[in-house]
Structures are given as structure tokens and as C-alpha cells.
Amino acid sequence: MPDMTKSDTATAEPDSVDAATPAPQPAKSEKTRSLWGDAWQDLRRNKIFLISSVLIVLLLLITFFPGWFTSGNPAYGDLSKHYLQKPQLGKVFSTEWLGYDQQGRSVYARLIYGARASIAVGFGTTFAVTIVGGLVGMIAGYFGGIVDSVLSRLVDVFFGIPFLLGTMVTLNSFPERTAWVVIGALSFFGWTQLARVMRGAVITTKQSDYVQAAKALGASTPRILFRHILPNTLAPVIVVATISLGVYIGSEATLSFLGLGLNGVSWGNDISDGGSSIRIAQWIMLYPSIMLTITVLAFIMLGEAVRNALDPKTR
């Protein structure tokens, strides 16, 4: 009996030790991030993205709230007092800060209000070409066959027309060139690049398993296009649209410089006006040129940063 009790006690000890030891907890699975989540993590650490974003936010504030930055009237001129008056660099943010032009108008006030026209044309054109080019490219890439052939040949025809030359000829037929007219002319010849980018992305995406599964389940064509294909083809379109926005702003300034742009206050018109007085009043042309360069560069830098973040090959 004593031996049995001793053996039972000996065998019971390991069981009590095992019962007191806590069971190991399963490791928590890390939350997987999507392509957009990974891109945002990269963009937050990208200095180029941060700098360009700050510049663009400042430009948008100038566009929507010009009264915050100047109290001057861009159309008012006083030849008797301010004819070609030189910049007063010590009077920061005043109407005299950047000097006056040949009509006695404040260069600084025109610089602030000129941002509205250029930014509006850039965003309006980008929105229009993204919608038109995206739809054409989506239809061509998804249906293929004769539809793809017809739409691709149409894109080739528009690609054969020089962008600025076609826009100039179109605008020359309008006696009054408002912002909507300029946006329409730029969009008419600018949608082709977005169409090609979208077409290539759709051709690649429509071969995915989830698209084939949606077809097998009887999903309608619009549902497949806008619910399954479109969200997975937006990355290259966003990159091209962001870079193109800066290009369209520069195009509007070029057209205005040639006398075929907006009939109003814009950076292109001010650069054109300053060209006739460049020998004696360089500031009229200098400051709008600097502002235009910074704006175009900011959008191009933003597009490059977004492209590097959305491209898996760079990570």
C-alpha cells in the first residue's frame, strides 16, 4: 500500500504541473493592407509628395479665396500713378509688392486672381478627359473584337492631330473664349492618352479570376465593368490624370500667350503682355512665369510620387 500511494503521488505531480501551465496563445495574424494602403504608407514618407501636396493646397486656397491674399482689384489700373512702377519688395503682400504693368494694374493682384483661371481650366479639362477617355478605353478593352478595332482607330486618328495645333484651330473659331470653351477644346483633343491607358489596364484585369467568376454567376456587363473592373484599373489612370493636370495648365497658359486662350485675367495673358515690355519692365513677365512653373512642377511631382507608390515593382 505505501508503494502504491507513492507511485500515484509521483504520477500525479506532472499532471498538476501541466494544469498550472497556461496554454500557448495562437499568434495574432497581421492585418493585410491593400494596394492603396501600401501606397499611402509610402506617400506619407515621401518628401516629394509632401512638398507638392503643400504647394497644391496653397494654390487651391489662392484659387477659391483670393481675397485672403490680396485686397487689390486685378482689373483696376491708374496710369497717372502706377505706370510701370517698379516692385516694392519690402511691402510684402501689398498691391505694390510686385510692381505694376503698362496699364497701371497691380502685378501681385493679377498673379493671385490669375491662378483661378489656370487652375479651373486644368481641373476641368482633367475631369473631362478622364471621364471620356476612361469610358472609351473601358469599352474597347472589355468587349474587344470589332468594337476595340473601331475605337482604337478613332484614337489613332486623334493622336495624328497635333494637340496644341488642333486646339488653336478650334479656339480660333470662337469669338469669345470663356473657361468652358477652353476646357472643351482641350478635352476634345486630350482624351486619347487616358483611353489607351484604360484600355491596357482593362485588358489585363478582365482576365482575372474574380471577373471570370462574376461572369459565371450571371453578373450584368455594367456591374462587371463598374463594380469589379473599374476599381482595379484606377491606379494607372490616376497617375496619368495627375501628371496631365499640370500639362493642361501649361497648355492654357501657352494658348493665352498666343492670344487664343481666355479673355480675362490669366497667367498666360500676363506673360504675353509682359513680353512687349521685357526690356524695361521684366517683372511683368517674370512673376507669372515663376508661378506657372511652380504650379506645373507641383502637379508633375505629385503624379510621379503617386506613380512610384502605386507601382509594385518599385517596392
Encode pLDDT of 14-46 as tens digits: 444 444 445 555 444 445 566 666 667 777 777
Q: How far apart are CA 60 and CA 249, in angstroms?
A: 14
Residues forming a β-bridge with 105: 77
Determine the Cα–Cα distance for residues 190 and 195; give it in Å rounded to an integer.
10
108 exposed, middle or buried (CB, 10 Å; 0-12, 13-18, 19+)?
A: buried
Name beta bridge partners: 106.
100
Q: What is the DSSP string of 6-23?
A: HHHHHHHHHHHHHHHSPP
- The answer to whether the Cα torsion of 275, 279, 282, 286 is positive or negative is positive
Per the DSSP assignment, residues forming a β-bridge with 77 are 105
pLDDT digits (tens, 9 = 90+) for 245-279: 888 988 888 888 888 878 778 888 888 888 777 77
For residue 188, with 0-12 CB atoms within 10 Å meaning exposed, 13-18 middle and 19 or more buried, which class applies?
Answer: middle
3-state secondary structure 132-185: HHHHHHHHHHHHCHHHHHHHHHHHHHHHCCCHHHHHHHHHHCCCCCCHHHHHHH
Buried-state track 21-31, b at ≥16 Cβ within 10 A, e below 16: eeeeeeeeeee
The percent of the chain in helix, strand and coil, each rounded to the nearest 5, is 70, 0, 25
Within 8 A by CB and 6+ apart from 305, the residues are 43, 46, 48, 49, 52
Output the DSSP codes for 234-297: HHHHHHHHHHHHHHHHHHHHHHHHTT-S-SSS-HHHHHHHHHTTTTT-THHHHHHHHHHHHHHH
β-strand partners of 100: 106
Print pLDDT tens along the chain (315 aa).
444 444 444 444 444 444 444 555 544 444 556 666 666 777 777 788 888 889 989 989 988 888 888 887 887 777 777 777 787 777 777 777 787 887 888 888 888 888 888 888 889 999 999 999 989 988 988 888 898 899 989 988 888 888 888 888 888 888 888 888 889 999 998 888 889 888 888 888 888 888 888 888 887 888 888 888 888 888 888 888 888 888 898 888 888 888 887 877 888 888 888 877 777 777 788 888 898 899 988 888 888 888 777 765 555
| Domains of the chain: residue spans and CATH | 45-70+105-314 (1.10.3720.10)
C-alpha grid cell, residue 50? 509632401
Q: 77: helix, coil or strand?
A: strand
Dist CA 296 CA 190 (whole Å): 17
237 CA to centre of own chain: 10
pLDDT at 129: 92
* Inter-residue contact 209 to 150 (CB < 8 Å): no
pTM: 0.78
CA separation for the pair 116, 189 (Å, rounded): 23
